[in-house]
Amino acid sequence: MKCLYGFYRPTSGEILIEGRQVHIATPLDGRQLGIGMVFQNFTLIPAMTVAENVALFLPALGIVLHPKAIQARIREVATRYGLEINPAAHVFDLSMGERQKVEILKILLAGARVLIFDEPTSVLAPHEVDGLFAIFDKLRQDGYAILFITHKLPEVMASAQRITVLRRGRVVGQLMRDEATPQAIVRLMLGAEPPPPVQREGLANEAGAPLFEMNTLSLVDEHTGIGLKEVSLQIFAGEIVGVAGVSGNGQSELADVALGLRRPDGGAFILAGQDASHWSTATILAHGLACIPEDPLRMEAIPGMTVVENMVLGEQLRYTAMGGLTMNWTGARKDAELFLNTTFVTTPPRLDWPVENLSGGNLQRVVIARELSRQPAVLLAYYPARGLDVSNAEAMRQLLLSYRSKGVGILLVSEDMDELFALSDRLVVMYHGRIVGTFRPHETTADEIGHLMTGGSRETTREGAN
Amino acid sequence: MSTLVQGNRTRLLFLLRYLAMIGLALVVFALLLLLFGKDPLRAYIDILSSTLGSSYGITEVVVKMIPLVLCACAVMLPARIGLVNVGGEGQLYMGAWLATWGALTFSQLPQALGIPLVILLGFIGGGLWALIPAILRAKGWLNEVISTLLLNYIAILFVGYFVFGPWRDTASANFPQTPKFVDAMRLPQFGDTRIHLGLFLAIAAVVLIYLVLRYTVWGYDMRAIGGNAEASRRNGLPITKTMLMVMFIGGGLAGLAGVGEVMAIEGRLRPNFSPGYGYIGFLISWLAGHNPVGVVMMSFLMAVLTFGGDTLQITQGMPFATVNIIIALILFYCTGQVLSAESEAVSYGYVLCHRGARRRIAGGHCRTLRRPG
Amino acid sequence: MLVGALQAGTAVLYAALGEVIVERAGVINLGLEGTMLMGASVGFAVTYQTGNPWLGLIAAALAGALFNLVLAFLVVTRGANQLASGLALGFLGIGLSALIGRPYVGQLIEGLRNVPLPILADIPFVGEVLFQHDVLIYAVIPLAFFLQWVLFSTRWGLSIRTVGEDKTVAYAAGLRTQWLQYQALFVGGLLAGLGGAHLSLAFTGVWGEQMTSGRGFIAVALVIFAAWNPLRAVLGAFLFGGALAFQLQLQARGAPVSPFFLDMIPYLLTLGVLIFLRGNRKFAMPAGLKTVFEGMR
């Protein structure tokens, strides 16, 4: 899509507009060809007014601005498509839904005929979504072409005429609205049917107290509007809880709260039997929480430091000597070597290399090894197999299982259905900051999970065993 | 072993690049002098012979280096965790102010107590002044770039008030200045040179910073926070504490520079006694890539150039400030070395399509001249 | 006395108005002192050589503008650190202006003459205070209104502000972000050059090394105080200059308030305004500048 709008240049193939082949090198080219795009992060400037934001994209803008005329044009288009907004308002005063209206106004006034929407509903409240679809209908009747990118099936079924399914950069199917069923689309999206879940003996010990617990925990996120909504989640010793969901539905916020980086706005977070809602990160880590994050280079590694220096991050106090005057690097090296060697099958990265020189997979291994070296009681693992090659990914899975059998409680966040079904003792589905379903893996199907994580409303959301 | 060799080689290349940049600056400056009808060769010979050609010249270069090194350390330490301290000048003034207060108030103390007292007070004065922006920053109220900059003016005016007002020496009616300090409060100077005790403070500061950064757990914390604040936060490193600590110590070092100027060189507090040491210190730290060894080398270069400026005024009839041009040219070559590898379009597209990417790119653009390896 | 404040403050105000444009485009020029000095020295030199202060003014403005382009090349084209480059630019300005001005130290010129406005100048007191000045003083307030209009009511102003807020959006809108930043720095240099020239051609009528004596830095503080708004910059300039006038008043009446504390007021106010209005989006700093400060990490 970014190709079409001109942010990336295609490496091969061609783009046809009204039958003519065109070259789109910059967003300006795209705009002049009548392509308009509503991005996930809006391209609005909060400090400016609606009229100014729209004026920026007007094709024939005079040297002197005439706010009255611009406002009049905005009002005219706005009333026709139900996009009423006060043109003199500052964008920072607007809600997410209103900002989206401004985005749409902007590309309409810029003369776009092909409108691309990249996950437009992710920032909207449910009642606003219906409003958006009403706008889609009006636009369609006036001859605009709309490309609506989403991972939410009900929305596709409600609004689209033609459906194209993409998986890993490839078109895997095209359906007309009439011949499409949610099941067919989910199947296309997920690829082959997932294997039957593995039954493992020694289920979690749910008789004891949970190691990690969130009670109707809420987090308000003004930026994305998702946050967390009354999330209740428990992890018991020796249990892997899988979290299914499209990324950006509250998973990273979950870790932020658990690590004490953000304070919950409601509910409680309980770690090792104590209320940890207001603990510092250091205290939380000292109580046995470890986290393998979704983006290790940005979130857990220090560029400019070597592998071994990164291995002691967070544990640096354990390796101090002489009251902090020096650090015991020999000990740190030994431990780092031990963990890097035992955790993975292929040769580990060199200890004195700067981490920014490592491949993504090796960096992931360093971070995993470090988090495990903390002897955690609870491990939050976000997409842990990302970047690893097949054999190391398998080793990583075995590792999770072995920690599980040692009594560690593990939260596994993944988009890989196979992985979730194979490893989880319990599966929860997150959608829009909420937990919308809890299952035993053998009691559900990938279809059902896929349905829920794309916003399907199941009347009978079965509760899990608890 | 092989990495060690490799490390030395990159370090050598790095040094060569520096020398090339300085050389280029000198050539451009020479051309400029020609343009103004001066003899560049003579100018360079004059600068060198007046500074390094005589023992007096060498000692004067060292005298100039003391405040420069200390002020550069005041910038370097916070810079290591990503804080920008443009307030060295104000911290220097406040250090001198508090030390002066001590010297005037406790003038009966013996030398054995007096000297440690003024040094301590100078450190605290600069440190507390730097703590203000640090707290504002830690609270998330105000960016430290702006607050340190504004506090400079306030500090200079504050000192001005005392020198023109309560502390003014009635004996020297024509000059706004405090009375001369008693000898017990003066930092000792060596032989008949103007080199003073501050030299040891500056050396100690550089060596300690180097050792702390390299060997201690606090240095580790600082490197981690400077390398990636988010990862450090996620691993429970004491970010706020480190922030306050580093600014306090940095400000304290700038304060020591003020003590040296007032308690040794001048012997009394005068308004505007610093010719912008705080700002030059900022530039030195930048030039040196916030590296302790580099700071010493760059301070030496700056000291030679600024002292040489005096010579040019006498021998060539060139204004003293002319050498500022060389300083600026060297800086331009250093700061201008960064070029973003990504093409504009790709990076902007990346920002638009990936949440949270914005910060990463902004960070990438500004990473100037980092240490090798 | 008021006259003195007006005359002393004009140079700062010109520089500050230019800097408003520059910072609105997302660049901070800490070397404003150098830009002003270039204007002052080149303006003086040209006036001395030609005997025509108007040519001097034009040359001063151009010198300031070209000088700012050095910064533009460094920070816009090469992506260099803005704070270090700005300070370095200041040093270059101090040195270069000293070299240029060297032959003219101690020389006198026929500078900009005061032009009493007919009729208005004859009004007692008011006329004397407000209507017996040189052209640059008359022009500065209309200029502030003009810049306000340019920034907020023209396409160019909108583009400049967009670049300063968010380069990504500017790019998406098809603006040439780098070119616009060059333009902003050029305009900012023009005005800072005029400000410097006012010092050497009108206010003092002589050239002296570093004769701006910190006015460039004051202008930077003033821009922050004015929350990046030309009209508020005028207000701020009166405050910064007014403190001077006020203290003379107080001294005349024997009030025991030190002028130094009065001089501090604008800076303390700036700090206070920044801290207490930090949540107010209307006074927020251009988002692009914020990334300049935070991107140093």
Q: DSSP readout, chain C?
A: -HHHHHHHHHHHHHHHHHHHHHHHTT---TTHHHHHHHHHHHHHHHHHHHS-HHHHHHHHHHHHHHHHHHHHIIIIIS---HHHHHHHHHHHHHHHHHHHHGGGTT-----PPPEEPTTGGGSTTHHHHHSEE-HHHHHHHHHHHHHHHHHHHBHHHHHHHHHHH-HHHHHHTT--HHHHHHHHHHHHHHHHHHHHHIIIIIISSS--TTTTTTHHHHHHHHHHHTTS-HHHHHHHHHHHHHHHHHHHHHHHTT----HHHHHHHHHHHHHHHHHHTTT-GGGPPPHHHHHHHHTT-
**Does B4 fall in a domain?**
no
Confidence of residue A461 (pLDDT cuts 50, 70, 90): very low
Q: What is the pTM of this model?
A: 0.82
- Decide if B352 and A7 are in contact by the 8 Å CB cutoff: yes
CA distance to partner chain A, nearest, from residue C161 (Å): 9
Residue C154 exposed, middle or buried by CB count within 10 Å (0-12, 13-18, 19+): middle
3-class DSSP state of A1: coil
Q: CA torsion sign, A291 to A292 to A293 to A294?
A: negative
Residue C170 has pLDDT above 50, yes or no: yes
- Decide if B215 and A326 are in contact by the 8 Å CB cutoff: yes
- On whether any CB of chain B is under 8 Å from the CB of A324, the answer is yes
Confidence of residue A125 (pLDDT cuts 50, 70, 90): low
Share of chain C above pLDDT 90, in %: 37
Residue C129 pLDDT: 65
Residue B350 pLDDT: 46
Q: Does residue B225 sit in the same domain as residue B348? A: no
Residue ranges, chain B, pLDDT below 50: 1-5, 338-347, 349-373
Q: Does residue B97 sit in the same domain as residue B223? A: yes
- CATH code, A2-149: 3.40.50.300
Q: Does residue B134 sit in the same domain as residue B55? A: yes
Confidence of residue A386 (pLDDT cuts 50, 70, 90): confident
Distance of CA A40 to the CA centre of its chain: 12
Nearest to C92 by CA among C45, C180, C32: C32
Q: Does residue B98 sit in the same domain as residue B230? A: yes
Residue A119 has pLDDT above 70, yes or no: yes
Give chain A's mean pLDDT.
80
**Does B59 fall in a domain?**
yes
- On whether any CB of chain C is under 8 Å from the CB of A43, the answer is yes
Residue A301 has φ and ψ, to the nearest 5°, of -125, 150
Share of chain A above pLDDT 70, in %: 85
pLDDT digits (tens, 9 = 90+) for C14-39: 999 999 999 999 999 999 999 999 99
B216, B224, B235 member nearest A324 (Cβ): B216
Residue A206 pLDDT: 59
- Which tokens hold the place of A44? 């609005």
- Parallel, antiparallel, or unpaired: how do β-strands A326-327 and A378-382 relate? unpaired
Cα separation values, B92 from A133, A443, B246, B262, Å: 64, 71, 16, 10
- Which tokens hold the place of A60? 């024939």
Identify the helix (H) or strand (E) that includes residue A215.
Answer: strand A212-219
In chain A, domain spans = 2-149, 200-288+376-466, 307-374
- Averaged pLDDT, A154-176: 80
**Does B2 fall in a domain?**
no
**Does B217 fall in a domain?**
yes
Residues A104, A135 contacting (CB under 8 angstroms): yes
| Same topology between domain A2-149 and domain A200-288+376-466 | yes
CA distance to partner chain A, nearest, from residue C207 (Å): 40
- Decide if A45 and C171 are in contact by the 8 Å CB cutoff: no
CA distance to partner chain B, nearest, from residue A441 (Å): 31
Domain of B302, CATH number, reads 1.10.3470
Residue C188 pLDDT: 96
Residue B332 pLDDT: 83
Share of chain C above pLDDT 70, in %: 85
Residue A18 has pLDDT above 80, yes or no: no
pLDDT digits (tens, 9 = 90+) for B220-264: 899 889 888 888 888 888 889 999 999 999 999 999 999 999 999
3-class DSSP state of B149: helix
Whole domain around residue B244: which residue ranges?
11-337
For the ranges A93-102, B157-166, B207-216, C180-189, which has the lowest average pLDDT?
A: A93-102
Residues C269 and A23: their CA atoms lie apart, in Å, by: 54
Residues C63, C177 contacting (CB under 8 angstroms): no
- Which tokens hold the place of A23? 């070259």
Residue B354 pLDDT: 43
In chain C, domain spans = 2-294
Residue B71 pLDDT: 96
C73 interaction partners in chain B (CB closer than 8 Å): 336
- Which tokens hold the place of A394? 């398998």
pLDDT digits (tens, 9 = 90+) for A169-202: 778 788 887 777 777 777 777 665 544 445 455 5
Nearest to C37 by CA among C236, C198, C182, C184: C198
Interface of A with B in 81-100 (CB under 8 A): none
- On whether any CB of chain C is under 8 Å from the CB of A321, the answer is no
* Residue B318 CB-half CA count within 13 A: 30
Q: How many residues does chain B have?
A: 373
Residue C296 has pLDDT above 50, yes or no: no
Residue B357 pLDDT: 36
- Averaged pLDDT, C98-111: 84
Residue A466 pLDDT: 35
- Decide if B368 and C101 are in contact by the 8 Å CB cutoff: no
Residue A145 has pLDDT above 80, yes or no: yes
How many domains are contained in chain B?
Answer: 2
- Averaged pLDDT, A107-124: 82
Residues C216 and C36: their CA atoms lie apart, in Å, by: 7
CB pairs under 8 A between A and C: 57
Residue C297 pLDDT: 36
- On whether any CB of chain C is under 8 Å from the CB of B30, the answer is no
Q: Could you report the predicted ipTM of this complex, rounded to two decimals?
A: 0.80
CB pairs under 8 A between B and C: 174
Nearest to C74 by CA among B280, B29, B287, B334: B334
A27 interaction partners in chain C (CB closer than 8 Å): 171-174
Distance of CA B73 to the CA centre of its chain: 6
Residue A431 has φ and ψ, to the nearest 5°, of -145, 125
Cα torsion for A8, A9, A13, A15, to the nearest 10°? 80
Residue C280 has pLDDT above 90, yes or no: no
Residue C191: CB partners within 8 Å, gap ≥ 6? Answer: C14, C15, C17, C18, C21, C61, C64, C143
Residue C244 exposed, middle or buried by CB count within 10 Å (0-12, 13-18, 19+): middle
Question: Amino acid letter at A368?
Answer: I
Fold entry, domain C2-294: ABC transporter involved in vitamin B12 uptake, BtuC (1.10.3470)
Question: Amino acid letter at A33?
Answer: L
Residue C230 has pLDDT above 90, yes or no: yes
Confidence of residue A345 (pLDDT cuts 50, 70, 90): low
Residue B152 pLDDT: 92
CA distance to partner chain B, nearest, from residue C127 (Å): 34
Give chain C's mean pLDDT.
84
Residues B104 and B256: their CA atoms lie apart, in Å, by: 17
- Parallel, antiparallel, or unpaired: how do β-strands A426-431 and A434-439 relate? antiparallel
Which residues in C200-225 are b (16+ Cβ under 10 Å) and which e?
Answer: bbbbebbbbbbbbeebbbbbbbbbbb
Residue B62 pLDDT: 93
- On whether any CB of chain A is under 8 Å from the CB of B238, the answer is yes
Confidence of residue A297 (pLDDT cuts 50, 70, 90): confident
Residue A424: CB partners within 8 Å, gap ≥ 6? Answer: A240, A241, A242, A412, A441
Q: Does residue B291 sit in the same domain as residue B344? A: no
Residue A164 has pLDDT above 60, yes or no: yes
Residue B350: CB partners within 8 Å, gap ≥ 6? Answer: B342, B357, B361
Question: Amino acid letter at C295?
Answer: G
- Parallel, antiparallel, or unpaired: how do β-strands A20-22 and A15-17 relate? antiparallel
- CATH code, A200-288+376-466: 3.40.50.300
- Which tokens hold the place of A233? 């989640």
DSSP letter (8 states) at residue A88:
T
Interface of B with C in 131-190 (CB under 8 A): 136, 141-143, 145-147, 149-151, 153-154, 157-158, 160-161, 164-165
- Decide if A62 and C155 are in contact by the 8 Å CB cutoff: yes
Nearest to C218 by CA among C200, C194, C195, C197: C195
- Parallel, antiparallel, or unpaired: how do β-strands A20-22 and A35-38 relate? unpaired
Residue C118: CB partners within 8 Å, gap ≥ 6? Answer: none
The CB density around residue A144, as the number of other CB atoms within 10 Å, is 18
For the ranges A112-121, A165-174, A427-436, C186-195, which has the lowest average pLDDT?
A: A165-174
B215, B216, B355 member nearest A41 (Cβ): B355
- Closest chain C residue to the Cα of A27, Cα to Cα: C172
Question: Amino acid letter at C127?
Answer: G
Residue C2 has pLDDT above 80, yes or no: no
